[in-house]
Amino acid sequence: MLQHRVKSIGKILLLAPQQIEPSPFQARTNFDQQEIARLALSIAQNGLLQPVTVRKVQNGRYQLIAGERRLRACKLAGLTEIPAILCDYEDDQTAALGLLENVQRQGLDPFEQARGIKEVIALWGCTQEEAARRLGIAQPTLNNKLRLLALTAQQQEYCVAHGLTERHARAVLRLPAEQQRTQALEQFVKQSMNARQADAYVERLLTDKPRHRHAIPMVRDVRIFVNTINRAVRLMVDAGVPASTKRTEGEGYVEYTVHIPTATSASS
């Protein structure tokens, strides 16, 4: 295997791309390959204008802190050496810097942002309030992003695939049932709703409750109902009305037939 020589230029190293491991704290899961290809063409023509950032790990290797897109583009462009800024960061700093770079440069989708923030909070072992301060994000903004993770993985994928915004996703969180949320997202896409229209649609779902007919109270104790029928029939018999009942029991039900002669038939 060809060994690449590492030249130290102040705080800048020239590293072979193969020496740089990907960051385990990378929040981004999807990369636009066409965009990477365009960046690779630019790097091939003009060189890498902004070095990637790395930290040293075991066995003389380096771990990427920031610059995943640039590193991929350099590999695609066929560069044998790329400039890298060497930093001495702990895991929590590495995770935060990687997340911030993605947020500030080529934006993550809302769910990647939320997962990245959640992982950073777990790594730091801090409160959401402290994380918001350290990440430079308003706490309500951070809380709203984390709320997005209440959607199922399928719902998150649907939002990303159909270009729905964070506000679209937050709108359906007001709906209590998973199926309602899925159906609402589908309607957003079907009707090409913008975020404002999506908010209004969900508001209508919450306020326009279907009108129900008055429900007939269910008899909790069948015996009470049966005794009531028997008592009523006895009263009619005592009053001279030749009423009668027929009881049939089936699997899981009791059927009563009450025969009450009309005045005409009773007198005939």
Neighbour count for residue 181 (Cβ, 10 Å): 21
pLDDT of residue 171: 95
Distance, CA of 41 to CA of 34 (rounded, Å):
11
- Is residue 7 within 8 Å of residue 76, measured between CB atoms? no
Per DSSP, the three-state class of 112 is helix
Q: Could you give the percent of the chain with pLDDT greater than 90?
A: 24
pLDDT of residue 185: 96
Max distance between CA atoms of the chain, in angstroms, equals: 121
- DSSP code of residue 121: H
* pLDDT digit string, tens, across residues 79-90: 888 888 787 766
Distance, CA of 90 to CA of 12 (rounded, Å):
19
* pLDDT digit string, tens, across residues 102-139: 554 555 688 888 887 887 777 677 788 888 887 777 88
pTM of the model: 0.50
Distance, CA of 113 to CA of 99 (rounded, Å):
8
Cα-to-chain-centroid distance, residue 78: 38
Distance, CA of 79 to CA of 68 (rounded, Å):
15
Tokens of 129: 């309030």
